[in-house]
Structure 1
Amino acid sequence: MSTGSGSDSVPGPQTPHETAPGASPEATGRGAPPSAPAAPRKGMFSSLRVRNYRLFATGQVVSNTGTWMQRIAQDWLVLSLTGSSAAVGITTALQFLPMLLFGLYGGVLTDRFPKRKLLLVTQSAMGGTGLALAALTLSGSVQVWHVYLIAFLLGLVTVVDNPSRQAFVVEMVGKEDLRNAVSLNSANFQSARLIGPAVAGALITAFGSGWAFLLNGLSFAAPIAGLLMMRTAELHKVDRVPRSKGQLREGLRYVSGRPELIWTIVLVGFIGTFGFNFPIWLTAFTYHVYHQGPGTYALFNSLMAAGSLVGALLAARRSSSRLRLLVGAAVLFGALEMAAALAPSFWIFAVLLAPIGVVGLTINVTANSSVQLATDPLMRGRVMALFMMVFVGGTPLGAPLVGWITDSFGPRIGFLSGGLVSLLAAVLIGLILARVGGLRLRIDLRRGHRHVAFVPRAALPPDDAEPTASSGKPVTVA
């Protein structure tokens, strides 16, 4: 199963993609100085020029399709066995609980061992979990505790697979193409999300969930073959961290001293914990609000996937990942979720899923690439493990709570609460990042002026800091 996409203490010259603690224009949200040359715009698919990355991407699109088939089939199987949205939430929580408990250890292993070899092991194990669930389901002996157990085992493998796969991207394409490759990884995942749910819906309706699990297990042969066919001499060399004591604490200290990392991780933690519980909400809306079957659930996932694919391709064209974009996308994401929760009809709800997909993917790619590019290579595995632990590992905390709210108060209240938490977290952390970066929120109501903008504190004359809305002057909020 795949999901969307480093610290050397040796000083060196900074590139536009490298971040000095507390000083990066990218990290603070300010633009580059006027004299700095603009980052050259690359093609949308520039990373695919690298042979090793092409092999990786080809294998991933096959296994990602299988992953989405299994995800739809698993959610629907649990709902069919129990009739409970909370049970779907428990399954999701068990799958991501190992990331919360052991995520940092996965980062240590990623920094210590060759990532390609780690991925060969983890991808093989993930294929095995799909085949085991297929055998139980096709034999007619599957029970809900079987699904819980396999979800937990899959989560254990993901503890190592996720940071290894994230950190391996830079070894294939180098730093210059990293942002593009992260975006294309997300596009890859979302393309499979368009195909997988549709195939899963047809298979479940015609034959049951077991065949979706079987095809997912077999799909991991593709990424394994791609990893074996790579030319190791063409990989970018990254020094491995020798075994020593205190490596977990070292990673935590590194992140805690860098506001551009810690607050980005905190923001995606809130959104991952409370805003990304779509298996719970979409199954509940399908089953309890609209009284439809697995085909409609697959349709909802495909609509979100279409939006996410558009978001990924737009991200692939960007030459930078500003934190102001991350915060703005998070605010919009929460607002769209709240709007969908209150949608008065089936088709309004369905149409809103596409922009939710666009904005959610923008959050994922912007946060991922910002964190990777702001981190030194020898720390990248541990930092990305912490990123994924917070982003994905928060689900065991949020999913049962969101599932309980959804069961107790209805799908609309459950969805609304997730959007509200995401919106409030984005606003609060945006204000914190603005203060850390020496920025102020400027509200200018005059005609022909930009009404809302973050500007450096020094750029404001003293009288502009006074609230003078009645006189038409700008209002500045620290």
Structure 2
Amino acid sequence: MPLPNAFRALAHRNYRLFIIGQGVSMIGTWMQTTGLSWLVYKMTDNSFLLGLVSFCGQIPAFFLAPIAGVLSDRFDRRRTLFVTQAISMVQAVSLVALTWTGHIEIWQIIALSAILGTVNAFDMPTRQAFLSDMAPTRVDLPNAIALNSSMFNLSRLVGPVIGGALLAEWGATACFLANAVSYVAVIVALASMRDLPVRVAPRLGRVSRGVIEGFAYAFGFAPIRALLLMIAMVSLLGMPISTLLPVFAKDVLHGEAQTYGYLLAASGAGALTGALYLAHRRSVVGLGKPIAVATVTFGLCMVAFSYSTSVPVSCVILLIAGFSMLLTLAGCNTLLQTIVDDDKRGRIMSLYAMAFMGTVPLGSLLAGSLADAFGAPLAARINGVLCIAGAALFIMRLPALRKQVLPIYQRAGLVPPITAAVEAVAELQAAPEDA
């Protein structure tokens, strides 16, 4: 496949600005995440509190994302992102001040994590829906989503490495300061955008009515429902493994902050590879099967990681796990944005944020509790087995889901009409003669 095809969404100037600004900001975010996780575990030596901090930082999305989705369909998305990025910068500056003066306490970390989680509950669905404003053609939108995932995971690869180095040399304060400064890049990028499409906001009445309509639309259509449940399962059972990485780095692999950074970087490198794979795909058609296989592979990787006592082996396993997890989550996001109606995009992206971010804190709390009671390896092992079981159910439903999304692909011009005839003939041949 020609290389330019993998980067075709970058032809849109606003999208280029977004990728650059958001990329710098996300590197800072991962540096802060690295420093914060290590600081909490160093202060408390308690895996439950490690999970609690993650829980408080992400649980607001579970409750607030549906409301944020309605607002995203009504209000200017760029202005919303201005506000969320500015508040996030203030949160990072607060961490810098507390750690610099030596007054940081665990309750303050929990409170600031909850504030950032509340901001992200509005930021994430708005940012995802904003992709369609920056790359407005349906042909380029899947590529824009894949490149956005590539940017996220490239920062996930670079951020922990730099964060681990800063952490080892100057402590967590340097990580928090770098994140605070990084928000300038995304704010400048948003301010530099021009000629964004003018959206006519739908008159939805009360916010509660918009929320109800969003849920009814999502869960009344089996493909959207299945994709959201797949995202929720992987986020609930698989994403919390990142919360336990400091435990694996320190207690299982007997390493220090740099080891923790290597583990995060290995997972990020695999995820970046998965994002580039999605970017090179010409179409979303046929993406369901790779998603199912990737979910099974991810579950197997979690089981294998739980038995590893070698840093190199653990990094290789996390490399594969990162690829598989990204392919599942970003692949489901790509399919969702392809089949959703434009006037409900913000609300469906809010449910995506609810499934992606909102279930992670529950999983982090569960994983932290299991790790505290039975050890981190067993917690990872149990979650891996459950991921495999959930993927098996998705595979069983896949043929029926394909038939339901086929008309949408045809209307979008992604599948030629002849495909419908082939599908119909195949269905007749597979049916019993007395039918």
Question: So what's the TM-score if we normalise by structure 1?
Answer: 0.82
Q: Which among 161, 185, 197 is matched to residue 123 of structure 2? A: 161
Offset at residue 86 of structure 1 (A): 1.3
**Given that residues 281 and 414 in structure 1 are in contact (C-alpha distance below 8 angstroms), is that contact kept between their aligned partners in structure 2?**
no
Secondary structure of 1:236 counterpart: coil
246-255 or 402-411, larger mean C-alpha shift: 402-411
**Given that residues 334 and 421 in structure 1 are in contact (C-alpha distance below 8 angstroms), is that contact kept between their aligned partners in structure 2?**
yes
Offset at residue 456 of structure 1 (A): 5.7
Offset at residue 458 of structure 1 (A): 4.1
Counterpart residue number, 1:276? 239
Q: Which among 197, 206, 211 is matched to residue 236 of structure 1? A: 197
Corresponding letter in the other structure for 2:110: Y
Q: Distance in 2 between matches of 1:108 and 1:253?
A: 13
The alpha-carbon distance between structure 1 residues 40 and 247, as it changes in their structure 2 partners (threshold 3 A), is farther
Counterpart residue number, 1:26? none
**Given that residues 302 and 383 in structure 2 are in contact (C-alpha distance below 8 angstroms), is that contact kept between their aligned partners in structure 1?**
yes
**Given that residues 72 and 200 in structure 1 are in contact (C-alpha distance below 8 angstroms), is that contact kept between their aligned partners in structure 2?**
yes
Counterpart residue number, 2:162? 199
**1:40-189 aligned within 5 A:** 43-174=5-136, 175-189=138-152
Offset at residue 306 of structure 1 (A): 1.0
The alpha-carbon distance between structure 1 residues 183 and 97, as it changes in their structure 2 partners (threshold 3 A), is same
The alpha-carbon distance between structure 1 residues 402 and 456, as it changes in their structure 2 partners (threshold 3 A), is farther
Corresponding letter in the other structure for 1:393: G
Counterpart residue number, 1:383? 348
Aligned-residue CA RMSD in angstroms?
A: 2.0
Corresponding letter in the other structure for 1:242: R
Offset at residue 153 of structure 1 (A): 0.2
Q: Distance in 2 between matches of 1:418 and 1:161?
A: 28
Q: Distance in 1 between matches of 2:169 and 2:221?
A: 53
Deviations 1:252-298 (A, max 9, x none): 11112211100110111011011111332211111111121110000
Secondary structure of 2:171 counterpart: coil
Secondary structure of 1:176 counterpart: coil
Q: Distance in 2 between matches of 1:387 and 1:351?
A: 29
Counterpart residue number, 1:6? none
Q: Distance in 1 between matches of 2:289 and 2:118?
A: 34
Deviations 1:65-106 (A, max 9, x none): 100000000100110111011111111111111001111001
280-289 or 115-124, larger mean C-alpha shift: 280-289
**Given that residues 42 and 319 in structure 1 are in contact (C-alpha distance below 8 angstroms), is that contact kept between their aligned partners in structure 2?**
no
The alpha-carbon distance between structure 1 residues 458 and 346, as it changes in their structure 2 partners (threshold 3 A), is farther
Query: Residue 399 in 1 paired to residue 361 in 2?
Result: no
**Given that residues 238 and 377 in structure 1 are in contact (C-alpha distance below 8 angstroms), is that contact kept between their aligned partners in structure 2?**
no
Counterpart residue number, 2:186? 223
Q: Which protein has the larger Cα radius of gyration, Structure 1 or Structure 2?
A: 1
Offset at residue 40 of structure 1 (A): 11
- Please state which structure has a larger fraction of its residues in helix: 2
Query: Residue 287 in 1 paired to residue 256 in 2?
Result: no
**Given that residues 88 and 279 in structure 1 are in contact (C-alpha distance below 8 angstroms), is that contact kept between their aligned partners in structure 2?**
no
60-69 or 392-401, larger mean C-alpha shift: 392-401
Counterpart residue number, 2:227? 264
Query: Residue 213 in 1 paired to residue 176 in 2?
Result: yes
Deviations 1:345-404 (A, max 9, x none): 332222111111111111121110101111111100001101110121012221111111
Query: Residue 426 in 1 paired to residue 391 in 2?
Result: yes
**Given that residues 299 and 387 in structure 2 are in contact (C-alpha distance below 8 angstroms), is that contact kept between their aligned partners in structure 1?**
yes
Between the two proteins, what is the percent identity of the paired residues? 33
Query: Residue 309 in 1 paired to residue 272 in 2?
Result: yes
**Given that residues 58 and 114 in structure 2 are in contact (C-alpha distance below 8 angstroms), is that contact kept between their aligned partners in structure 1?**
yes
Secondary structure of 1:250 counterpart: helix
Query: Residue 342 in 1 paired to residue 303 in 2?
Result: no
Deviations 1:208-244 (A, max 9, x none): 101110110111000000010111x2x2333222351
The alpha-carbon distance between structure 1 residues 151 and 432, as it changes in their structure 2 partners (threshold 3 A), is same
Corresponding letter in the other structure for 2:65: G
Corresponding letter in the other structure for 2:94: A
| Structure 2: gaps of 5 or more residues | 405-424
Q: Distance in 2 between matches of 1:461 and 1:267?
A: 29
**Given that residues 274 and 398 in structure 1 are in contact (C-alpha distance below 8 angstroms), is that contact kept between their aligned partners in structure 2?**
yes
Q: Which runs of 4 or more aligned residues in structure 1 lie more than 3 Å from their structure 2 counterparts after TM superposition?
A: 39-42, 433-439, 455-463
Offset at residue 118 of structure 1 (A): 0.6
Corresponding letter in the other structure for 1:349: S
Q: Distance in 1 between matches of 2:166 and 2:403?
A: 55
Question: So what's the TM-score if we normalise by structure 2?
Answer: 0.90
| Structure 1: gaps of 5 or more residues | 1-38, 440-454, 464-478
**Given that residues 273 and 398 in structure 1 are in contact (C-alpha distance below 8 angstroms), is that contact kept between their aligned partners in structure 2?**
yes
Secondary structure of 1:240 counterpart: coil
Offset at residue 461 of structure 1 (A): 7.8
Secondary structure of 2:139 counterpart: helix
**Given that residues 223 and 401 in structure 2 are in contact (C-alpha distance below 8 angstroms), is that contact kept between their aligned partners in structure 1?**
no
Corresponding letter in the other structure for 2:44: T
Q: Distance in 1 between matches of 2:165 and 2:190?
A: 31
Q: Which among 297, 320, 331 is matched to residue 366 of structure 1? A: 331
Offset at residue 432 of structure 1 (A): 2.8
Secondary structure of 2:104 counterpart: coil
**Given that residues 89 and 402 in structure 1 are in contact (C-alpha distance below 8 angstroms), is that contact kept between their aligned partners in structure 2?**
yes
Q: Distance in 2 between matches of 1:214 and 1:343?
A: 34
**Given that residues 239 and 378 in structure 1 are in contact (C-alpha distance below 8 angstroms), is that contact kept between their aligned partners in structure 2?**
no
Offset at residue 433 of structure 1 (A): 3.5
Query: Residue 354 in 1 paired to residue 315 in 2?
Result: no
127-136 or 190-199, larger mean C-alpha shift: 190-199
The alpha-carbon distance between structure 1 residues 41 and 349, as it changes in their structure 2 partners (threshold 3 A), is closer
